[in-house]
Amino acid sequence: MSNAPLNDFDEFDDFNVYAPPKTAIGQTGGTADFWREGELLVMSIGAVLPDRCIKCNAPAHGVRWDKRLSWHPPLIALLVLINLLLYLIVAVIFTKRAQVSIGVCRKHLTRRRRLLATTWLLLLVSIAVFIGGVGLSFDRNTETAGIAVMILAGAALVTGLVIGLGFAPLVTPTEITKTHVRLKRVHPNYLAMLDTVEAARARS
């Protein structure tokens, strides 16, 4: 996480996110480091994205979300249906990773932290509840209740994973190559201030 000061965020209450950008964001030294491609943001690995929140386009005031994203071709996930171990081995081989640094506002950083905390809480609760369910299932009188409690633990686990893997990440990679990263779940106003790939190519 960024070490940038977190004390000047109240400034964006009156910030108009619909106003056109005052600077030509997307132009870094005349090279096409990042651009939009429909609803996706494409960035070269190592590109410095604008100092704007990728989730709402408000000024990020230097706060960055530094994250090592990973991605593998989605079809590989189908191997789970055949064999979990096979999937894990193939996924390890084909997974590509990229370090990204993305601007984020305090509101969305806080939201992410809360979602992550909720995830961990649900995972810990699911373990505790599962152990409780196992204990109950040893006794014939409480066996059914034990199974019900274990199912409840499973539901808490799945909910935690959905929140942690689905909602907590600020963006989701749709592809990572050796040179570029494609990201979805980027705010439309953020995308709107970027060049299209044609404009970026014409400029660089």
Query: For binding to Zn ion (CB under 5 A), which residues are involved?
Result: 53, 55-56, 105, 108
Q: Which two tokens stand for residue 128?
A: 């505790």
HSE of 1 in the Cβ direction (CA atoms, 13 Å)? 9
Q: How far is the CB of 76 from Zn ion (least distance, A)?
A: 32
Q: How far is the CB of 58 from Zn ion (least distance, A)?
A: 5
Q: How far is the CB of 104 from Zn ion (least distance, A)?
A: 6
Residue with Cβ nearer Zn ion (32 or 58): 58
Q: How far is the CB of 54 from Zn ion (least distance, A)?
A: 8
Residue with Cβ nearer Zn ion (53 or 200): 53
Residues 6+ apart with CB under 8 A from 118: 160, 163
Residue with Cβ nearer Zn ion (129 or 186): 186
Residue with tokens 């201030």: 193
Residue with Cβ nearer Zn ion (43 or 53): 53
Asked whether the CA dihedral 190, 195, 200, 203 is positive or negative, the reply is negative
Nearest residue to Zn ion, using CB?
Answer: 53
Helices (H) and strands (E) in the chain, counts: 5, 6
- What φ, ψ does residue 8 adopt, rounded to 5°? -120, 30
